[in-house]
Amino acid sequence: MKKLFIWSLTLVFFAGFTSCKEDPIEPPNEVYDTEVNINFHHLANGSLVDMDTMKYISAHGDTISIRTIKYFVTRLTFHREGKSDVMLKDMHYVEEGLDNTKSYLYSTKIPSGTYTGISFTYGFVNEDNISFMFGSAPEYQMFWPENMGGGYHYQKIEGQYYVNGIKKFYNFHSGGLDDEDYSINIVLANSEFTTQNKSVLIDLNMELMNWFKNPVIWDFDYFGAAIMGNHEAQAVIQQNGADVFSATVQ
Amino acid sequence: MKWNNIIGVVLTIGLFSISSCNKDEPSPIDDPSNQPYVTTPYTIDVPIGFPDLIIPEDNKTTIEGVALGRMLYYDNILDKDSARSCATCHIQNENFQTDNGSDQILSHINFAWSNNFMWNGGFTGTLEEVMLFEVEHFFETNIARLNANEEYKKRFKQAFDVDEITSKEAAYALAQFQRIMISSNSKFDKYMRGQAMLTDLEMQGMILYNTEEADCFHCHGTSLFTDNIPRNNGLDEFPEDGLMAVTGIPMDLGRFKTPSLRNIEFTAPYMHDGRFQTLEEVVDFYSTGVHNTATVDPLMVYAYKGGVDLSDDDKKALIAFLKTLSDTDYLTNTELSDPFN
């Protein structure tokens, strides 16, 4: 019995020791000295969008206008060769018409060096999408009702479209529906860069017309104006979002 | 006794004597006008689920400031003609509003979280700023009259440490009182706190409200039941100017502030012009009466067919849910009542 007790103690001791080894605390061996600025640009057919103008033709052939653009960019991540990624925790809200949201200096910095690319989450992964986490407007007003899963809208893009001579509204809203994660992992093409002067500037372009094509041609009348409770529509937005963004980095 | 000790005793006696002498002299603190300025903090309990409460550094909420604001709210002294007070139009048992015919009065409810005031969105800013507007431009307060009133002189001194009252302190006191005018004890609130159950009908209404079937939540969402944004909800084929009268921007035609739906049961008639007498009429309008005009808000997605087209059962459910937003405690809260009665 005594032997068993000693063995047990030994096991507990080593188990504890092993646990410590599995979760090492890495010493800070990098200097996070480079600030990250990001500017947001909203384009339609390659040019800055004219809001509230019924002049854009979707891939489906619908004439549309755009009145509202609101969305969240989260988990902005910088990728490196042979080193761990650097992810910034800020959850940034962007709104066309609110200039102070369209240019943003991240609250934390990244190490100087060469990066192979940038990615981010459009909206929130489920783990980040926590109801009532925003305490003030405008983020607060992006809430997603609890009976549809809670958390926040990823985006609200709104406007009008013509169908059979009738002007209708569309609410191109996306979010996590019934705990299904429809956030979009955006990997920016050609976003490699080397930091200079301890600052990096990302000009992020959203090509609005790409929401409505590739791979799925968006038919406004098929999906209807109200799509928050529509899993098929949410999945299509998630697919179509992959090539909506492009960036220049300097 | 060593010399050191002798010196110590002498010094102690000497200091004691000096101290005793001072005690007999009149202290400046005995003069009431020289009382140190001390206020008592007023802690506002922000209800669960409400947004953060932003209180300006230069107008912290105090017992003295709130009490003064409450007096001013109910006192005609603010009005240049002494004809009215805030409470003349904002009557507590009518949810701090009143039926004013075609020019409806907005309820004073949870304004601590608003930065957009007036039906036509004619004033944006802080509570302090809008109250200053009320003092200087709405009431055109004769500040000299406040300064001639000994009771108010004393209370402003206690609340703001001023010997000369200005419009600013009057506005700040009103803002402090407005900041405690919080409604958060409706059946819906109790349900959210796990203290009450909703009936099946109320629950059905809540789901309609919070989905795009009735789609109330986009504009009348969050715990405030408003996003405070001026919108055109399609009331008219030829809308009144609304926000356009303020901005001159054509797209602002027909845009009016989205009011809170808290205590909506007690605030008939409805809309900025009081055109609807009952909640049934309001729901009928959103169901089939919406006009699809150029400046209607895109959130009115079914405007092209006149509205959300609810069944009679859905309308009843929606109204049942709206009535769960009734907070009668707010209508009788003695902290908010007329201090002169």
- Of A224, A124, A221, which is closest to residue A164 (Cα–Cα)? A221
Single-letter amino acid code for the residue at B114 = S
Least CB–CB distance from A145: residue in B51, B54, B217? B217
What crossing angle do the helices spanning B312-323 and B279-288 adopt, rounded to 10°? 130
Residues of A in contact with B303 (CB under 8 A): 169
CB pair distance less than 8 Å for A137 and B51: yes
- How far does the CA of residue A133 sit from the closest CA of chain B (Å)? 10
Q: How far apart are CA B221 and CA A138, in angstroms?
A: 12
Judge contact between B226 and B121, C-beta under 8 A: no
pLDDT tens-place values along chain B, 341 residues long: 444 444 444 444 444 343 443 434 444 444 545 566 889 999 999 999 999 999 999 999 999 999 999 999 999 999 999 999 999 999 999 999 998 888 899 999 999 999 999 999 889 999 999 999 999 999 999 999 999 999 999 999 999 999 999 999 999 999 999 999 999 999 999 999 999 999 999 999 999 999 999 999 999 999 999 999 999 999 999 999 999 999 999 999 999 999 999 999 999 999 999 999 999 999 999 999 999 998 999 999 999 999 999 999 999 999 999 999 999 999 999 999 999 98
Please report the pLDDT score of residue B23 as a whole number: 39
pLDDT of res. B35: 60
- Type of residue found at B156: F
Q: Which residue of A has its CA nearest to B305?
A: A168
A178 touches chain B (CB under 8 A): no
Interface contact A145, partner B, CB < 8 A: yes
A143/B49 touch (CB, cutoff 8 Å), yes or no: no
CB contact under 8 A, B212 and A140: no
**What is the predicted pLDDT for the residue at B15?**
40
Kindly identify which residue of chain B lies nearest to residue A162, measuring between CA atoms: B304
Contact A132 B304 (CB under 8 A): no
Q: Among B52, B204, B301, B305, which would you mutate to test the A interface (most chain A Cβ atoms within 10 Å of its Cβ)?
A: B301
Nearest by CB to A226, from B215, B227, B303: name it: B215
* Cβ contacts of B49 on chain A, cutoff 8 Å: 132
Interface of B with A (CB under 8 A): 49, 51-52, 54, 115, 206-207, 210-212, 215, 217-218, 221-222, 227-228, 251, 292, 296, 298-304
Cβ contact A140–B300 (<8 Å): no
Q: Which residues of B touch A229 (CB under 8 A)?
A: 211-212
Contacts of B218 in chain A (CB under 8 A): 171
A164–chain B Cβ distance below 8 A for any pair: no
Residue B232: the pLDDT is 97
A202-226: pLDDT as tens digits = 999 999 999 999 999 999 999 988 9
Which of A141, A148, A168 is closest, CB to CB, to B304? A168
Residue in A with minimal Cα distance to B250: A52
Among chain A residues, CA nearest to B213 = A226
Q: DSSP labels for chain A? A: -HHHHHHHHHHHHHHHHHHHHHS------S---BEEEEEEEEEETTEE--TT-S-EE-TTS-EE---EEEEEEEEEEEE-SSS--EEE---EEEETT-GGGSEEE-SS-B-SSEESEEEEEES--GGG--TT---STTGGGGB--GGGT-SBEEEEEEEEEEETTEEEEEEEEEE-BTTB---EEEE-TT--EE-BTTEEEEEEEEEGGGGG-SSS---HHHH-SB-TT-HHHHHHHHHHGGGTEEEEE-
Among chain A residues, the shortest Cα distance to B209 is held by A145
Strand A86-88 versus strand A184-187 pairing type: unpaired
Look at B211 and A147 and tell me if their CB atoms are within 8 Å.
Answer: yes
- B298/A159 Cβ within 8 A: yes
* CA geometry: angle B264, B270, B274, nearest 5 deg: 150
The reported pLDDT for the residue numbered B33 is: 54
Residues of B in contact with A68 (CB under 8 A): 298
A228 in contact with B, Cβ within 8 Å: yes
Give the nearest partner residue to B51 out of A140, A145, A229, using CB atoms. Answer: A140
Chain B residue numbers touching A148 (CB-CB < 8 A): 210-211
Contact pairs from chain A to chain B, CB under 8 Å: 65
Q: Residues 35-74, chain A: which have Cβ within 8 Å of B? A: 52, 67-68
Residue A214, φ and ψ in degrees, nearest 5: 55, 100
And the tokens for B30? 């005995």
Contact B212 A228 (CB under 8 A): yes
Which residues on chain A are in Cβ contact (under 8 Å) with B222?
Answer: 140-141, 143
pLDDT in tens, A117-133: 999 999 999 999 999 99
Q: Which residues of chain A have pLDDT under 70?
A: 1-28
